[in-house]
Amino acid sequence: MVITLNVLSASPKLYLYLLPFENINDEKVIAWLGAGFTDMLTKELSSMEGLFLRNRDDLENIMNNRSLLLKQPRDSRNILALGKYSRKMDEITIDMQFIDIANWNELDKREVVGSYNNVPQLNNELSEIVKTVSMPYLPIKKTAKKIYPDFTKPQASAIPKTFGERGAVITSSIDDAIAELEKSMDFVIGARGEPVTSTVKKPIADDEWVVDIDNRPFNEPLPENTHNTALLNQVLDNLMDKPYEVYLNKPTYEYDKEKDENTITVNLHVEYGIKGDIMNDMLTSLPYSGLKQDGSLTIVHFDRDNFNFNSEFQRNVSIGNYRAVPLIRFYDKDDVVMAIILDTPESRWYSLTSNKIHFIPIHQFSPLVDFTMGGWSLQVALEDVDIKANYKLKMSIEEVDRIGRVSLKFIPEAELGAVIFPFL
């Protein structure tokens, strides 16, 4: 006996084609998310009845042989799920597009935005979106009509307690009350230590609840913030002291005999940038309350809930004691200073001159780190750009021959006078 199965009589199905998500900006650090999102969705959706998951190979087979669609059960749907993702600081944006393979019409389009530090939450939201979009295209499950109603288990009626049982309950209640009384007396005489008090107060009236407040001074440091504050001080000390990466090139010389046969123009090329590990240290070791990126500018907020900002720290930030500017010094072969280039925005230095050395105040460098202290939080702004400065000064031929080395050092603005005035 030969039995022929007609595919058209089978139940319709929903075939969902899941491909690895596209990494729009091709960031290698987050490349693992491409296959990660697909694996997560495969695990979450595999148990849905009527939904059959397909991969890239299945899609290529359908594309190469469209007649395979005719071999599927009648009213089956084939939907392609395309995902793209990108990152901006700790924010991940995922764009999902759902396409009907039969006619290439777009069925739906969704977006998910979440934190890179909370990928499980991103997975949950993404899974819910795919389930929501797929639900209308799942085959409707037909249930056979029952001949008889469902069996209902009868509920046993409660048997009234006997006098003995009720007496046992009363006796147990009395024993509990005596135990509580003994416990209270032990607390009074100190046998059980201090009683634990609850912060939740019972209502003193039917419509009023009261909780006592511990009136701690507003600016009093919190002991639980001591560890975070110590870490913050370490990171900020590094940020204030040595925040920059400097590339100092050898000087080049320009000599124009026709203009001045006794003078040579000395060119010094310097590149400034933020150290790469500073941002990573701040974001991985410190609990920040806010993060914003605008192009090359990154702003991080730290608030009093997690840190203790003492008065000395607030004063240093408010008056700008952390600011430092580059000071370039040319030394001769006897280690004597021949020239100083001071790169500062402070105009008060521009009028100073020296008869001992070449003193050139100029402004090409701009601080790439800025601190702002508010009433409740500290704001740290960092600009990830490269500053290319070209310093020039004129020296005699004899002086150029005596140049032994060039030094660049960041000096706090408050200490500039002590360094420069001895040469003026």
Domains and CATH numbers, the chain: 7-137 (3.40.50.10070), 225-423 (no CATH)
Q: In whole angstroms, what is the distance from residue 402 CA to residue 298 CA?
A: 44
Beta strands in 363-402 (DSSP E): 369-373, 377-383, 387-396
Q: In whole angstroms, what is the distance from residue 324 CA to residue 69 CA?
A: 70
**Closest of 282, 122, 146, 306 to residue 222, by C-alpha:** 306
Longest dimension (CA), the chain: 126
Alpha-helix runs per DSSP H in 190-275: 226-241
Helices (H) and strands (E) in the chain, counts: 9, 18
pLDDT of residue 192: 46
pLDDT of residue 119: 83
Do 317 and 372 contact (CB within 8 A), yes or no?
yes
Q: In this structure, is the dihedral angle defined by the CA atoms of residues 226, 229, 231 and 234, taken in order, positive or negative? A: negative
> What are 45-70's pLDDT values in tens digits?
888 888 888 888 888 888 887 778 77
* CA distances in angstroms from 167 to 24, 36, 158, 172, listed in the order given: 76, 64, 18, 9
Do 367 and 328 contact (CB within 8 A), yes or no?
no
Do 85 and 94 contact (CB within 8 A), yes or no?
yes
pLDDT of residue 399: 92
Q: In whole angstroms, what is the distance from residue 303 CA to residue 371 CA?
A: 13
**Closest of 334, 328, 144, 158 to residue 248, by C-alpha:** 328
Q: In whole angstroms, what is the distance from residue 186 CA to residue 189 CA?
A: 5
**Closest of 420, 418, 408, 414 to residue 244, by C-alpha:** 408
Q: What is the pLDDT along the chain (424 residues), one digit of tens a residue?
A: 444 444 444 678 889 999 899 988 888 878 888 888 888 888 888 888 888 888 888 888 888 877 787 778 887 888 989 899 988 877 889 999 998 888 888 888 899 898 887 888 888 888 888 988 888 888 776 555 554 455 555 555 455 555 455 555 555 555 665 666 555 555 444 444 444 444 455 555 666 777 666 555 555 667 777 777 777 777 776 666 677 889 998 999 998 777 777 899 999 999 998 877 777 766 777 777 788 877 788 888 888 777 777 777 777 776 666 678 899 999 999 999 999 999 988 888 888 888 889 999 999 998 888 888 776 788 888 888 889 999 999 999 999 999 999 999 988 877 888 888 888 8
